[in-house]
Amino acid sequence: MQTAVPRPTDRARDVNAVAEFWSRLSLAGEAPPVLDTMEAVLAALRLLPDVSGVAVAADPVLAAAMDATWDAGRDWCLAARVPTGQAAWSAPDGGWPAVRAAAAGRSAWSEAPLAGAATVVPVGEPPVLALVATGEAGADADAARRQALVPVAASAAAALSALTTLATLQAEVVRLAGENHALGRLARLQGRFVAMASHDFKAPLTAITAYTEVLLGQVGDEAFPHATEFLGVIRAEAGRLLRMVDRVLDFTRIEFGPQLMKLEPVPLADLVQEAVRALAPSAAARRLHVVVEAPAFLPRAEIDADLIRQVIVNLLGNAVKYTPEGGHIRIVLTEEGSSVAVSVLDDGPGIPSEDIRRIFREFYRADGAAAQAEGAGLGLSIARHIVHLHGGHIEARRLPAGGSEFRFLVPKEMGALAALPQVTGLQVSPEKASQVISVVLRTVAELTDSLAVVLLMGDGNGALVPVGSLGLRDEGRRLQPVILTEAWRRFLLDGRAQPDPGAIVGDLDLAHGQDLDERLYCPLVHEDEPVGLIVAGRHAGEAGYGEAERQQLEVLSRIVTTALRNFEGNEQRVLEALQVLLQTRRTGVPTSTPEALHLIGRLARALGMGSQEMRRLLYAATLHDAGMARVEDEIVLGAAPLSWDERDEVDRHVEQGCELVGPLLPDPAVRGLIRHHHERVDGSGHPDGLAGDRIPLGSRILAVVDAWFSLTKDRSFRAGLAPSAALAEIRAHAGTQFDTRVVQAFVELVEPVTGQADRTENRT
């Protein structure tokens, strides 16, 4: 029997092929690991002897897991005729499973994109790539080709492992850079404390020292006429100093002590009344008119009463301090999504628009008349810290008629929670379980703008058990489990949200006595098994749920299913990711709204995107701006040019966002869509500088839709652009920032309605 001993010239060609492979490979670390390895492999394979065609194929799932630039929808096989054919990407019939079977020697690969008998050699275990050479049929020719492929495969395996290690190390570098950045911020903050101490404490201390010295020189002199006056000044200055020290102490305590919070259900109206009483003397002294407006029913808030009282006192205190004599102050309480909101409105001087972004910063004081009043510039910064510790939101705006509005939102009280672990089989502590239920309920309420949300989970015994509710008027009432009839199963397995699933919901008596008139029912499905149900509700008199809301709730329910599936062993990260998602409604660009998702869906369809890819895109769209929630909102909302450290913070948000929502991502392809939504088609974007078609189509769509919403949205400090102006702006950046084809399709979708919108705008 003849064995295929390589001839000396063949050996030389093997070495050439391996050398060619390494020389083609970029080990700079910037290159996409899988794509780059495939291209280098193909160049090397072209040098093999006695082959008519060569190819390299990748497992699309593993490739996406190893390579953030790999688009899930891309073709996975790169092939060329030898010696001079053009290399081309394709997705041959039989898919990756056929290649894998051939690489394992289980079958021949008859669907190779090239003519001739194919020899297939795996790279890695499990194989990430497969190297293919085609040529003459027959055992000897196959053995010779195999022998030639093996050394290249060994090199490719070594390169892939090195490149992915490099990618992991780079991720670590990014994480450390993040930590370094946070430490830098802390250092700057401490620096500012020192600066403030030396500046603001100096004036009263100088006064106290000077007056005390004069008094000391006059001890025993009965005739000194100013003793009482001087003592008065000393007492006032000491009091001022004490208040400032208190504020600085509050501030440091809050900055570093989130663990010290004591959360309980509190009627906010009571706290407001207490604050109004406390400030009544100063308000009366300035003849201010103070009114409190609250609806007949307002849910309690889940807060630390002492801390939130401080927020109200700071806001109301400012209104009293800065509103001229005889002015008006209104405090308005409302219920909104998952929150209770408090607004403090005054008809004072208002805040200059250019200051709105900075007003919540430490030690910030506006110029002009308002700056005359005493203060350390810490009150609003403290308020913001406290509200954020509660997972809430705070904002300021200049009222059109003059004066200011300061408004903060804190979470509503949760309804009774059932024991989740028994229901879902999750092995997590009851405390963590109730945390995840409550953040799920809040997120759904907040993003779908629903006042009430109920979560039911399958108990494994044919029933759906209510595990938590938010915003039901009668929180004490226990909801009944639902028996999973055949009709229920059919509805749940269908996976689609419905306003009224018909007679089957007779069991779930949500509306009972609490006018929850508009409802949307959305199944939670995992691997073709119904695992639960989300019900979102709005009260009588509110708008109903439309097609866009239905689609949004379906995306949210998939996110919730992923969160619950990944929860065990990952509790803190999943909770944080959901918390970040919860905040997106109030921060950054609103691309997770039903309206935005609907537009993204229509645009993707117009560009011919398939349903699987579309599901991924809508999922990514809901999560993609989450990193923004952590970029300080005054930076994100800024109209003015950013300073270097702020710019740095915004650029980093893409990677931060991927990191933060990581535990909610179902597959690497969704991660890729999020990671690349700040890339520009000219290659000058973030974070990988991808260009053209290398940017996943979904990311190119997100870039255009993000721009549209950020240009047209009104901000507290400026009005949004008219639709036609925003469209012109987007068009102007086609081919550099945005994909021309995406822009064209977007314009075709949006243009017919922009003229109309412009006209409506001009009338109002």
Contact positions vs ligand ADP (CB under 6 A): 314, 318-319, 322, 346, 348-349, 351, 359, 364-366, 370-371, 375-381, 404
Nearest-approach distance from CB 314 to ligand ADP, in angstroms: 6
Distance CA 29, CA 169 (A): 10
- What single-letter amino acid sits at 638? G
Q: Which is nearer to ligand ADP, 372 or 764 (CB)?
A: 372
> Distance between CA atoms of 583 and 351, rounded to whole angstroms?
25
CB of 232 to ligand ADP, least distance (A): 23
How far apart are CB 347 and ligand ADP at their closest, in Å? Answer: 10
Residue (346 or 554) nearer to ligand ADP, CB: 346
CB of residue 639 to ligand ADP, shortest distance in Å = 19
Count Cβ atoms below 10 Å from residue 551 Cβ, excluding itself.
Answer: 18
* Residue 503 C-beta: closest distance to ligand ADP, Å: 55
Check: CB of residue 382 under 8 Å from CB of residue 397. no
Choice between 348 and 668, CB closer to ligand ADP: 348
Q: Given the complex with ligand ADP, which of 347 and 459 has the nearer CB atom? A: 347
Q: By C-beta, is 376 or 730 nearer to ligand ADP?
A: 376
| Least distance (Å) between residue 392 CB and ligand ADP | 17
**Closest distance to ligand ADP from the beta carbon of 298 (Å):** 24
Q: Can you give the C-alpha Rg of the chain in angstroms? A: 32
Report cis status (omega within 30 of 0) of the bond before 83. yes
Span between the terminal Cα atoms of the chain, in Å: 92
Nearer Cβ to ligand ADP, position 343 or 404? 404
Q: How far is the CB of 563 from ligand ADP (least distance, A)?
A: 37
d(CA 460, CA 595): 36
> Smallest gap, in angstroms, from Cβ of residue 405 to ligand ADP?
9
The one-letter amino acid code at 153 reads A
Least Å distance between CB 653 and ligand ADP?
Answer: 26
How many whole angstroms from its chain centre is CA 59?
29
In single-letter form, the type of residue at position 131 comes to L
Output the smallest distance, CB 429 to ligand ADP, in A: 39
Angle at 293 between CA 287 and CA 294, to 5 degrees: 150
DSSP state letters, 297-334: --PPEEE-HHHHHHHHHHHHHHHHHHSPTT-EEEEEEE
Please say whether the beta carbons of 696 and 73 come within 8 A. yes
Tokens of 328: 């008006």
Alpha-carbon torsion, ordered 262, 267, 269, 273, to 10 deg? -60
Nearer to ligand ADP by Cβ, of 385 and 680: the residue is 385
Distance CA 754, CA 748 (A): 11
Q: Which is nearer to ligand ADP, 60 or 204 (CB)?
A: 204
Determine the 3-state secondary structure of 343 from DSSP: strand
| DSSP 8-state class, residue 692 | G
469 three-class SS: strand
The least CB distance from residue 307 to ligand ADP, in Å, is 16
Q: Which CB atom, from 319 or from 504, has the smaller least distance to ligand ADP?
A: 319
**763 Cβ contact list (under 8 Å, min separation 6):** none
What Cα–Cα distance (Å) separates residue 125 from each residue in 45, 77, 108? 21, 19, 20
Task: Give the pair of three-digit tokens for residue 6.
Answer: 């390589």
**Residues in contact with 345: Cβ distance below 8 Å, sequence separation at least 6, in sequence order:** 319, 329, 330, 331, 332, 399, 403, 404, 405
Residue number, 398 or 677, with CB nearest to ligand ADP: 398
Q: Would you call 40 helix, strand, or coil by DSSP?
A: helix
Query: Between 36 and 200, whose beta carbon lies closer to ligand ADP?
Result: 200
Min CB(583)–ligand ADP separation in Å: 22
Q: At 98, give phi and psi (nearest 5°).
A: -65, -40
Between 346 and 449, CB nearer to ligand ADP? 346
* Closer to ligand ADP by Cβ: residue 370 or 555: 370
Handedness of CA 45, 50, 55, 58 (dihedral sign): negative
Position 710: which residue type? Answer: S
Residue 53 — φ and ψ, nearest 5°?
-155, 155
- Helix, strand, coil shares, percent, the chain, to 5: 50, 15, 35
Residue placing its CB nearer to ligand ADP in the complex, 24 or 361: 361
How near is the Cβ of 411 to ligand ADP at its closest, in Å?
Answer: 24
The nearest distance, CB 718 to ligand ADP, in angstroms, is 19
Token pair for 257: 């002590």
Residue number with CB closer to ligand ADP (77 or 356): 356
Amino acid identity of 631?
V
> Which of 308/603 has CB closer to ligand ADP?
308
Q: Which residues pair with 134 in a beta bridge?
A: 53, 118
Cα gap 272→521, rounded to integer Å: 36
* Residue 570: exposure state from Cβ atoms within 10 A (0-12, 13-18, ≥19): middle
- Distance of alpha carbon 180 from alpha carbon 175, whole angstroms: 9
Phi first, then psi: what are they for 304, rounded to 5°?
A: -90, 110
Q: Read off φ and ψ for residue 394, nearest 5 degrees.
A: -135, 145
Please, are residues 196 and 363 in contact by the beta-carbon 8 Å criterion?
yes
Residue nearest to ligand ADP (CB): 375
Q: How far is the CB of 720 from ligand ADP (least distance, A)?
A: 25
Shorter beta-carbon distance to ligand ADP: residue 230 or 363: 363
